[in-house]
Structure 1
Amino acid sequence: MKKRIFSIVAIAALSISSLAAQKSIRLGYIDMEYILENVPEYQEASRQLDNRVQEWKAEAEAQMQKVEDMKTRLDNERALLTKELIEEREGEIAFIEQKALEYQQNRFGPNGDYMIQKKQLVRPIQDQVFTAVQQIAENRNLDFVFDRTADIGMIYADQQYDVSETVLRTIKRTANREQLENRDEIKEFEQEENRTVEQDKEITEREELVEERKSEREAFIEQKKKERDSLKAARQKEFEERRAKILAERERKKDSILKTREKKTDTIN
């Protein structure tokens, strides 16, 4: 596998080298972090987001502290409570704790508010940078522009150096060659190798059409699944609201009973 990848990379490098032999390659780079640090709009929006994050953290900590306080209070009163009351209190604590964890996930999870707003914050600046880079690259005849602070690195490349189709074609043919088992397969493979890029493109387009229809079917299935999940979530929410209402009613009745007992005690005394 490593040899195959090396061979493919070598082909890509040779293709670029061939083009480079005809024209000297001109490179440029940017420092995205430096750019963001010097865009006032980004800095102000970033400060606003940091303030919201601090508010979210404070709210998350307050919710979890409430849970811990409820657990401590239950432990202190456990010996004085009936089994039914203990179970009710434990159910209430579990419910509130689950809500607190959901809040943390919604705010700071991989798809939470923080990540979403962080991306929204950077995206307008990135769009401006990419537009500016493209204009500068064309004006200065740059072939490649890199971002020295990014994992991906390259953010602009002249299309003449794109050897993706050549690499893809080589991968497919190399894989096919390794799977050949008889003369008929070898003959068919040789015919495929003699096909032109245009012929390959026509076949690829047909295959892509088949794949597109397959994707549409999968999207339809996924949509139905989302609808079922949405219905399930709605039922779960209804159950939780009903349960919370029952717990609140039980707590009200318990308080009423305790007050009645206190009044009787005061009357006797």
Structure 2
Amino acid sequence: MKRLLFALPVLWLALLPVLARAQKFGYVDTEFIMTKMPAYAQAQQELNTASQTWQKEVEAQKKDIDRLYRTYQAEEVLLTEPMKKKRQDEILKKEQDAKAYQNRVFGYEGLLFKKRQELTKPIQDQVFEAVEKVAKKKQLAIVFDKAGDLTMLYTNPAHDYTEFVLEELGLASEDRNQPGPKGAVKTVTPPQTPADPEFGDDAPATKAAPASKSKATSKPTPRNN
């Protein structure tokens, strides 16, 4: 019995490489994919517009409170105690309303959060459907998201299926994943070596080669299409 219990973990360890090879896996970068989608750019623009509008409303409320407070300070000496109390309560109420509105818009699950979900969820659904199709076509058992919360310390490009998802969405291009154009190669002219003052004029000063000769004729490296 003890031999059997000892043999089971050993057998499991021996089968791990086989099981790992039996399951195909891959990863995609959903954040990169969405940046290639025109609908996502439009959603971001609409979200920014809404955010800026709400932010202006919050700032307008703060300016109104500041105006009331400065007016109260200027007229405080002329007010009776009941009038002071009324003004103070009015300012306090404005501050509470402004804070509540700011939380309702920018707080957890506020209007901005719901607006973002409203605009991005249909786009995310499109990406997930495309990922599912690619996974079925490529017979992938597991697909990781490089842009998700999972920390990926190393990724082998051989398991990157991002471009297949872009193709599924009709967003692939011929120059995908190509490096940017290279600039002209710059040749640094060596500085002129100063003459040693101890030798005076008898020692020939070492001069740098003319710039036209020291520069190597360089041609931009052609891109691989």
Sort the TM-score into its range (normalised by shorter chain).
Answer: 0.5 to 0.7
Deviation at 1:33, TM superposition (A): 1.3
Which of these two proteins has the greater Rg computed from alpha carbons? 2
Contact 2:43 2:120 in 1 (8 A): no
Q: Which residue of 2 aligns with 1:56?
A: 54
Counterpart in 2 of 1:72?
Answer: 70
Matches within 5 A, 1:1-269: 18=16, 20-21=18-19, 23-152=21-150
Structure that is richer in helix per residue:
1
Q: Whose RCO is larger (CA < 8 A, sep 6+)?
A: 2
Taking structure 1 as the reference length, the TM-score comes to 0.49
Q: 1:141 aligns to what SS in structure 2?
A: coil
Q: Using the alignment, how far apart are the partners of 1:94 and 1:20 within structure 2?
A: 70
Q: Structure 1: give runs of 5+ residues left out of the alignment.
A: 1-10, 155-269
The alpha-carbon deviation at position 82 of structure 1 amounts to 0.3
Specify the code of the residue in structure 2 equivalent to 1:67. I
**Contact (CA 8 Å) 1:60, 1:100: kept in 2 or not?**
yes
Normalised TM-score (structure 2): 0.57
Aligned equivalents of 1:113, 1:140: Cα separation in 2: 40
Q: CA deviation at 1:63?
A: 0.2
Q: How far apart, in 2, do the equivalents of 1:62 and 1:99 lie?
A: 12
Tell me if structure 2 keeps the 8 A contact 1:27–1:142: yes
CA distance in 1, matches of 2:148, 2:19: 29
- Between the aligned partners of 2:109 and 2:57, the Cα distance in structure 1 is 19
Q: How many residues align?
A: 141
Q: Percent identity?
A: 33
Superposed CA RMSD in Å reads: 2.3
